[in-house]
Structure 1
């Protein structure tokens, strides 16, 4: 069991399935834009690998992955931190080791940039869509999540992309793109509590997706299956293709943290 230095991460990119869930996060880590680690069976000539992001310990298995290496790799990672294993049952030859908790997520894709937005997805009077900068980010609801994902605000401004809907210096909604790679981009969106159910999140997310498309990136949204609000928003802006995959949680601290996160989702 060997750990690769970051400058060798691109060498193992071909070991991972291009169509895996959260692929933008995987490739952003392989390409050095977000922090993470990679362990392999043999540093001289790797044939299988596990990649773990700093962000919530998302852990990606190479494909295919021998059960023995998967078990050993998970135990190795658990010596330092919990594991959240990204698992696509459709492309797995066998189930993963039994986890403390298993959650289902959806990935929503299929945006058509030539499609017209709903009539109600319009910038409200007196508001504007503004790119995120170093002055706006500390005021955002998810600025701590952003730093967790990217490592710093400076890294987000260098590699990421964000948009806020602002009116009278108040942020109404915000959308982020922290992870991109291999032609894909993963976005997140949040509407501030006092301004929900007015289409502001859909407006902001669609604008960010259009910016991603202009950069040659196919955008997608992921969420837990119980987050019906975000699934509805995604479909409203044209992300109407969906797939279901699993997160297998190993490590009690992470399981409790994710429990708290999912309880507070709409």
Structure 2
């Protein structure tokens, strides 16, 4: 993943909101190895809520900003100083932002000038497609359930709600599994699906942590994804040791480290 060089005369980016019918045109700005690519496709497909803005030159998209309703926002195409400034303005009111952008000469400095701070995330994926994640044994006092609209409405997982939107939208577009004990969801894992990928995320209730439940829930979603022909992906902050450990235990391999620009907008 690297930033495309700006075309002549494009140093003053002008991002305009992209209509739903034109969203598929933005796919050309993202390489197959672009981090969080499942999120990009999911927004384009209408599987998760989000918005997109793009700069067009001769009616072709040159750069774009895809924003989910979660912190995750993704940039693609040619980066310029003006792009980061405009992105910061467009994301005003968004709250926490983690902007993934294609690295290139000067991009980190441009992000800083626009008011972002630097961060770094890791991208893990499955190198052998036919690999099936081993399923850890589920403790006898926990039950495995497929998350439906009703279960989703009661989850103690702010990140899942911010990513997937309504319970109806979740039930239609997403796969998730939970471990339940005494009627309480102890751990829930989900997958953002798009572009042949399933990007995994998990949340464990504070009362049920340090029992390996997150790994069990993730394994259920990853195995489901493999059965559907999807390649599992996990991304996490570079210093998040538990997430790195779980990704490796799931049989995923670190593919790349990539920069992000962070801000409260």
TM class by smaller structure: 0.7 to 0.9
Give the alignment's Cα RMSD to 1 decimal: 2.5
Alignment of 1:136-175 (within 5 A): 136-142=151-157, 144-175=158-189
Which residue of structure 2 aligns with residue 20 of structure 1? Answer: 34
Matched residues in 2 for 1:57 and 1:226: separation? Answer: 18
Q: Does the Cα contact within 8 Å between 1:111 and 1:219 map onto a contact in 2?
A: no
Q: Does the Cα contact within 8 Å between 1:146 and 1:156 map onto a contact in 2?
A: no
| Cα pair distance change 1:227/1:11, threshold 3 Å | same
Matched residues in 2 for 1:19 and 1:145: separation? Answer: 24
Q: Where do 5+ consecutive residues of structure 2 fail to align? A: 1-13
Q: Report the CA distance between 1:3 and its aligned residue.
A: 2.0
Post-superposition Cα deviations, 1:112-143, rounded to whole Å, max 9, x if no partner, equal 5545627xx2111142211001332233221x
TM-score (norm 1): 0.81
Which residue of structure 2 aligns with residue 100 of structure 1? Answer: 116
| Cα pair distance change 1:3/1:191, threshold 3 Å | closer
Give the count of matched residue pairs.
245
Q: Report the CA distance between 1:69 and its aligned residue.
A: 5.3
For residue 220 of structure 2, the aligned residue among 207, 210, 217 is 207
TM-score (norm 2): 0.81
Q: Give 3-state SS (helix, strand or coil) of 2:22's partner.
A: helix
Q: Give 3-state SS (helix, strand or coil) of 2:70's partner.
A: coil
Q: Report the CA distance between 1:28 and its aligned residue.
A: 0.8
Matched residues in 2 for 1:109 and 1:140: separation? Answer: 27
Which residue of structure 2 aligns with residue 193 of structure 1? Answer: 206
Q: Where do 5+ consecutive residues of structure 1 fail to align? A: 255-266
Which residue of structure 1 aligns with residue 10 of structure 2? Answer: none
Q: Give 3-state SS (helix, strand or coil) of 2:61's partner.
A: coil
Once the two structures are overlaid, the 10-residue window that deviates more, 74-83 or 196-205, is 74-83
- Tell me, yes or no, if structure 1 residue 59 matches structure 2 residue 73: yes
Matched residues in 2 for 1:206 and 1:88: separation? Answer: 30
Q: Does the Cα contact within 8 Å between 1:4 and 1:43 map onto a contact in 2?
A: no
